[in-house]
Amino acid sequence: MVADAARSHNPPHAIDLVDVTKMYAGKVHALQGVSMQVRRGEIFGLLGPNGAGKSTLVKIMATIVRPTTASGTILGAPIGHHPTLARVGYLPEHHRFPQYLTGRQCVEFFGAMCLMRRHARRARAAEMLDVVGMGAWGDRRVSTYSKGMQQRTGLAAALVNDPELVILDEPTDGVDPVGRHEIRDVLLAMRDQGRTVFLNSHLLGEVELVCDRVAIMLKGKVERQGSLAELTHESRRWKIVFDGAAPTWISEFGEPSRTTADRSCVEFKSDDIARVQSLIDRLRAEHHAIVGVTETRESLEDLFMRLVRDVDGRSSAVGASNVNSAMRATTGATR
Amino acid sequence: MNAPSPHAQNAQNPSVSAVSTTSTHPCYRAHLTPTDYVVQTWALFGSAYQELNARKLFWVALALNALIIGAVAAIGIDDSGISILGYELGIPGVTAKLFPDGQLYKQIFSTLGVGIWLAWLSTILALLSTASMFPDLATGGVDTMLSKPVGRGRLFVTKFATGLLFTALQVAVFAVLAFLVLGIRGGVWEVGMFVVIPLMVVFFSYLFAVQAVVGMITRSPIASVIVTLLFWIVIFLVHSGEQFTLLGMTASRLEIEALERKIETLQTEDAKSGVILAVEAEKPQQANWKLAHDLFYAAKTIIPKSTETIGLTSRALSLAANMPTNDEVEGEGEDASARQQRGFFRSRSVSDRKLRQAIQTEMDSRSVWWVVGTSFAFESVLLSFGIWYFKRRDF
């Protein structure tokens, strides 16, 4: 019993979603059974094209949208558990703070909403505004802020309650490159402090730079989930350059090519390092000097684009087959 | 930028950080304490006050309040006559003897201040000023708010209460200034003037409930104002219909009673039969009036009674501050719509005075609880629907 209680207070996953679905009015199936695990203390990136259901998923976690079906936990509590929200920080996409408040008042206001007492939230608001580089601007009205300044203030408001889990929806939207770099530093610092960061972003490069693990959502489903190494595992390629002409047996590995007059090269896809070693051994046994061995992997962007094309292709095929079926039915009826 | 390190000691050990979760997080509560409710509600009220402060209409309404009271304070009356800013108007007979004990000021505050300014113009300004509160709640800023440990029901109710704060502040300023003018210029310190604050807030809450729910559903300030004003017109029409049919029903009943008394006084059967025929002819009309009145009365019972609530304000002012009501001043003793319809029933054998007395008796028999209680019931149902809708809505 004690062990169970300890586990419920300290579960291994900050976010553990199981079979989350959301059907909007008009039979729009925004989420079709999403399952996702985010470990404690990691930065987790959520990727997907527009309409993939990312924002809906984020809003379900923040209790802004009600799921059609959902099970799982956020910080060990069931999804939608209100008291747990005090331990979560959330920066929504396109957030709009009250324009009549100053940045400091905004941050303090959300601190109060998270049940922080006056002295604590004042001190914490000042601290967080400094962290996001808004300390000097905190006493100006939000209506005078640029988009980037509003994002920074939003980040301060999301962190004011000292959250264990921070959910950020496009945090660098409208922020200049310097600001983006600073926000990335904040995210990394949060991870170093043991917080869990859930980052929803369109910016693949940004996600690749800071995230430990990512999930790629397409058409309401999680297509891939894992660390960058795991996700690009299958696309591991090797390029081996060696002296002399390519032996005939090398076509077992891949098509050889000449790099220079006295050098050849072979490229092939393999996840098996032993296979690479055996190739090198055979080449060396035939007195070919190995000039270079290069490992390449698919970038996150390449993987993302490939998945989007694959799923779009499948959808198009399904759509086409539906149209064909409908046309056949119509033709049959006419006959 | 370096983030502060409340978890710094756990920096290299996320599992240790995870221990500082449910039971140790400074903001976590399994159940909110009364202090937590106060912290959140106070913050919401503070934000609402700042929002009102930022609205020009709020200050326009306050300035108009001060202007109206200032205009009343500019009027002077003494034994020699009435004056404005010291200039004698020279109206014969209008002296302090005619309006003793600040009666002139009381009358002006009652009829113009409450009856027109607060009940109409100030209310419309308040509706316009608060029109965007619920559409705003249903659109832009709600995401961050809903991600905090505050229930949607409580958020809706608190937002509604902050809307009422607008009217409360405006009426409070009016009451305080009117109280001072009555005391300084009229020489009467009437604490009863402050009863106008809760009654006007109650009156405004009927309309604001409609505006809140429509604003929540449509997310449009303009739509919410238009629907609320239309609803106000419907209330007025139902009230007028009820008053008209009440007059007809009462006049018809009194007519029958008068004719029946006349029959008893008549000696000959011929004369009696003529009056009996008249009674029989009147009875179907009376039944029709009653049916029409019952329908209007039923409709009126369901919807808020804004006119009666304003009437309570005037009545409370008259009772508390010893002010004459409009009716007493005009010597009519009947409802305004009844006066308008008096000519319609003049051919009957019942005197106007008797008819007015009967109507007044009927109106007096309607309790404060019927007026306010049924109105609150309507408001409660409407707000419950609004809360239910807000709780179910995805943003």
Side-chain half-sphere of A283: how many Cα atoms within 13 Å?
Answer: 27
Mean pLDDT of A134-163: 92
CA B357 to chain centre: 26
Domain boundaries, chain A: 2-231, 237-296
Model confidence over B235-253: pLDDT tens digits? 999 999 999 999 999 988 9
Residues in chain B closer than 8 A to A76 (CB atoms): 21-22
In whole angstroms, what is the distance from residue B33 CA to residue B307 CA? Answer: 41
Identify the pLDDT of residue A119: 93
Give the pLDDT confidence of B187-213 residue by residue, as tens digits. Answer: 888 888 888 899 899 999 999 999 999
Greater pLDDT, B108 or A17: A17
Rg over alpha carbons for chain B, rounded to the nearest Å, is 29
Asked if the C-beta of B38 comes within 8 angstroms of chain A's C-beta atoms, the answer is no
| pLDDT confidence of residue B114 | 84
pLDDT digits (tens, 9 = 90+) for B139-158: 667 888 899 998 899 999 99
| Interchain pair B27, A92: CB under 8 A | no
Select the more confidently predicted residue: A72 or B115.
A72
Q: CB-based burial of residue A124 (10 Å sphere; 0-12 exposed, 13-18 middle, 19+ buried)?
A: buried
Phi/psi of residue B164, nearest 5 degrees: -65, -25
Segment B19-42 shows an average pLDDT of: 74
pLDDT surpasses 50 at A322: no
Residue B87: beta bridge partners? B84
Pairwise CB contact (< 8 Å): B40 & A113 = yes
Q: Bridge-partner residues for A239, per DSSP?
A: A267, A294
- Answer for the pair A90, A167: CB distance below 8 angstroms, yes or no: yes
Q: Under a CB-based contact definition with an 8 Å cutoff, are residues B175 and B114 in contact?
A: no
* Minimal Cβ distance to A109: which of B47, B54, B394: B47
Which two structure tokens, joined as six digits, stand for A109? 């206001």
State what percent of residues in chain B have pLDDT above 90.
30
Q: How confident is the model at residue B23 (pLDDT cuts 50, 70, 90)?
A: low
Q: What is the pLDDT of residue A313?
A: 66
Q: What integer pLDDT is reported at residue A328 of this predicted model?
A: 45
Going B237 to B240 to B242 to B244, the CA torsion angle's sign is: negative
Between residues B61 and A27, the one the model is more confident about: B61
Tell me: the pLDDT tens digits for A209-242? 899 999 999 999 999 999 988 888 777 888 999 9
Answer whether B325's CB lies under 8 Å from B110's CB: yes
B36 touches chain A (CB under 8 A): yes
- Which DSSP category does B369 fall into? I
**Distance separating alpha carbons of residues B347 and B234, to the nearest angstrom:** 31
Contacts of B7 in chain A (CB under 8 A): 193-195
Q: Do A115 and B32 touch (CB under 8 A)?
A: yes
Q: Look at residue B263 and tell me whether its pLDDT is greater than 50.
A: yes
Task: Give the DSSP letter string of B244-286.
Answer: HHHHHHHHHHHHHHHHHHHHHH--SHHHHHHHHHHHHHHHHHH
Q: Identify the band that residue A135 occupies on the pLDDT scale cut at 50, 70 and 90.
A: very high
Q: Which of B14, B32, B47 sits opposite A98 (nearest CB)?
A: B47
Inter-chain contact A115–B394, Cβ cutoff 8 Å? no
Cβ-Cβ contacts under 8 Å, B43 against chain A: 109, 112-113
Residue A222: CA atoms inside 13 Å, Cβ hemisphere, count?
19
pLDDT of B331 over the 80 cut: no
3-class state of residue A91 by DSSP:
strand
Give the residue-averaged pLDDT of A108-124: 93
pLDDT at residue B321 greater than cutoff 80: no
**Which CATH number applies to A2-231?**
3.40.50.300
Residue B373 one-letter amino acid = G
Using the predicted structure, report yes or no on whether residue B50 has a pLDDT greater than 60: yes
Helix axes B196-218, B221-265, angle to 10 degrees: 130
Distance of CA A309 to the CA centre of its chain: 19
pLDDT, tens digit, 9 for 90 and up, residues B212-236: 999 999 999 999 999 999 999 999 9
How far is it, in rounded angstroms, from Cα B112 to Cα A239? 92
> The tokens of B203 are what?
């009156």
CA angle A305, A311, A313 (to 5 degrees): 100
**Share above pLDDT 70 across residues of chain B, in percent, rounded to a whole number:** 83
Predicted confidence at residue A319, as pLDDT, reads 39
pLDDT surpasses 60 at A274: yes
Q: Which residues contact A94 (CB under 8 A, 6 or more apart)?
A: A173
pTM of the model: 0.78
E strands, B41-86, in order: 75-78, 81-84
Contact B129, B100 (CB under 8 A): no
